A = this chain, B = another copy of it.
Amino acid sequence: MSSNKVLLADIGNSYFHIYDGTKVEHLLYEEAIRKYHNKTLCYISVKQQLDAAIEEIASWKNISSQMKLEGAYETMGVDRQALCHSHDDGVFVDAGSAITVDVMHHGIYMGGFIYPGLKAMLNTYRAISPALETQLNETISLERLPTTTKDGISYGIIASIKALIDQHCDGKKLYFTGGDGKLLSTFFEEAIYDEMLVFDGMRKVIKETQIC
């Protein structure tokens, strides 16, 4: 099959993301397996708990090991590596269950860090105290110090990750992907949001290696 037509899947900690060459679908694990187990599909996965179930599907091919990125470390999530393959230079933010921030320079991986996802952060505050249970203020101003609990929490989540990402941009393009990528990108000037970035990286590697 040609790399342009093959179904591609990025199996994350919460969802199955499937690209059919035209659009991206976000499915629950069971739903994705039921719908696509008879289709030819190449996937990468960070969901180790699913490995046994998925490896039994004869028409699916695990291409995680082909995503190896120059300079990357052994336990770096394969979705982060695929994302970094999408462009040779930039700061790459994948905002899903976790928020990963990775820096690429001339095709070499420079390092990165991990932050909990927005939903996980809100759950964390609630677990500390019922008084800290709140929703995210998605339009919070970062220009002035908050003076309410809801804003103090929203600011703690958004302004801290923004302050750290800003420190690492240094003239590089800033790319966002993932379920909360669009929202998070609104707090940055000149940020690029693109839900295709991980698949772009996978397609680039597939094209180079002809693995699918």
Contacts and interface: CB of A to CB of B under 8 A. Distances in A.
A130 B75 contact: no
Contacts of A124: 116, 120-121, 123-124
B148 A115 contact: no
A100 to B, nearest CB: 8
Interface string A3-38: 000000000010000000000000000000000000
A153 B114 contact: yes
Given A124-B123, A155-B113, A129 B160 contact: no
Interface in A132-188: 132, 144-149, 152-153, 155-156, 159-161, 163-164, 166-168
Interface of A: 13, 46, 48, 71-73, 75-77, 97-98, 100-101, 103, 110-117, 120-121, 123-125, 127-132, 144-149, 152-153, 155-156, 159-161, 163-164, 166-168
A149 B112 contact: no
A112 B13 contact: no
Contact of A129 (B98, B123, B130, B159): B98
28 contacts: A48-B130, A48-B131, A71-B147, A73-B147, A77-B131, A97-B128, A97-B129, A100-B152, A101-B156, A103-B145, A111-B144, A112-B146, A112-B152, A113-B145, A113-B153, A113-B155, A115-B160, A116-B121, A116-B125, A116-B128, A120-B124, A120-B128, A123-B127, A145-B168, A159-B164, A159-B167, A160-B161, A160-B164
A73 B146 CA distance: 10
Contacts of A46: 129, 131
Contacts of A116: 121, 124-125, 128, 156
Contacts of A98: 125, 128-129, 132
A110 B145 contact: yes
A160 B116 CA distance: 12
